[in-house]
Amino acid sequence: MKLLELRDLAASVDEKQILNGIDLTVNAGEVHAIMGPNGSGKSTLSNVLAGRDGYTVTNGEMELIGTPVNGMSVEDRALAGLFLGFQHPIEIPGVTNMEFLKVAIDSHLIASGEEEMNTRDFMVQVRDISKRLELSTEFLKRFVNVGFSGGEKKRNEILQLMLLQPRLAFLDETDSGLDVDALQVVARGINEFRSDENGVVLVTHYQRLLNYVNVDFVHIMVNGAIVKTGDAQLAHEVEAQGYAGLGEA
């Protein structure tokens, strides 16, 4: 089943063309990695996909689980099954992580015609996921991302991923700024999440996350276009030769 299909997608930010015709298909059960140098348009792609204000699709098509997403609001895309892992998770003072997670999961449940999650079930589930991500329960009482270390912020993203169980996870540089231990915890979370039902796209600078997560496809993005696609081996080539050697391929 196709979870994501981009056909010749072009997009601009502030009237500046960033994406120049991207073709990408992600099927259920697949894990893709998109690699590329700074400024290649990786973060723009995730924002365009999520429907963020200020990002304009200038050409091409974008389908999420068989439905064209153009014109859909940010929240509707999220409720349809798209999850964006943020490179720099933003702080929300005054709102505890627990409240935030509860409102998020309830929004998903209500959108799919179900009832809000019973508080006790919610607590059990959130505590279980936190434990697997080596996060203390104290962490749930803190305000969203306020005073979190870089590693905690990223693990918090994975916590949201595991709780919300989206169909397609688009994780933007989830590995950046992590030490080896934190990287392994995050990778474990992604591995636990992946299934035959969902798809994962890892957007990354480096190959190191791929040491812990097996990917089916690696795409190299340069100047707003995918210039090369291969298997995990391609990531090693990039690591050895740099993007410059692949750019004009």
Partner 1 sequence: MVVAQAGGTFTKIPIPSRQHFMSDQSPSAAHDFIGKEYAAGFVTDIEQETIPPGLDETVITEISKRKNEPSWLLEWRLNAYRRWLEMAEPTWAKVDFESVDYQAISYFSAPSGDKPKSLDEVDPELLRTYEKLGIPLHERELLAGVERDPDAPRIAVDAVFDSVSLVTTFQEELREHGVIFCSFSEAVENHPDLVRKYLGTVVPQSDNFFAALNSAVFSDGSFVYIPKGVRCPMELSTIFRINAQFTGQFERTLIIADEGSYVSYLEGCTAPMRDENQLHAAVVELVALEDASIKYSTVQNWYPGDEDGKGGIYNFVTKRGVCRGNRSHISWTQVETGSAITWKYPSVILRGDNSVGEFYSVAITNNRQQADTGSKMTHIGRNTSSTIISKGISAGKSSNAYRGRVRMNPGATQARNFTQCDSLLIGGQCAAHTFPTIESQRDDAIVEHEATTSKVSEDQLFLCRQRGIDAEKAVAMIVNGFCKEVLRELPMEFAVEASKLLEVSLEGAVG
- Interface residues with partner 1 (CB under 8 A) are 50, 52-54, 73-75, 78-79, 83-84, 86, 89-96, 99-100, 103-104, 107-108, 111, 143, 160, 164
> Which is closer to partner 1, CB of 105 or CB of 210?
105
Q: How far is the CB of 194 from partner 1 (least distance, A)?
A: 20
Q: How far is the CB of 58 from partner 1 (least distance, A)?
A: 18
Task: List, as own/partner pairs, every contact residues 175-184 make where C-beta atoms lie below 8 angstroms and the sequence separation is at least 24, other chains included.
Answer: 175/202, 175/204, 175/206, 175/208, 175/209, 176/87, 176/204, 176/205, 177/150, 177/151, 178/150, 178/151, 178/154, 179/151, 182/150, 182/151, 182/154, 182/155, 183/208, 183/209, 183/212, 184/212
Degrees to nearest 5, angle at CA 81 with 51 and 151:
80
> Which is closer to partner 1, CB of 164 or CB of 225?
164
Distance CA 46, CA 9 (A): 12
Q: How far is the CB of 232 from partner 1 (least distance, A)?
A: 29
Q: How far is the CB of 14 from partner 1 (least distance, A)?
A: 9
Structure tokens given for 3: 């979870």
User: How many other CB atoms sit within 10 Å of the CB of residue 17?
Assistant: 14
> Which is closer to partner 1, CB of 42 or CB of 108?
108
Q: How far is the CB of 173 from partner 1 (least distance, A)?
A: 16
Q: How far is the CB of 77 from partner 1 (least distance, A)?
A: 8
Are 175 and 209 a contacting pair, CB within 8 Å? yes
> Which is closer to partner 1, CB of 111 or CB of 124?
111
Residue 249 parent element (H or E):
none
> Which is closer to partner 1, CB of 153 or CB of 246?
153
> Which is closer to partner 1, CB of 20 or CB of 47?
47
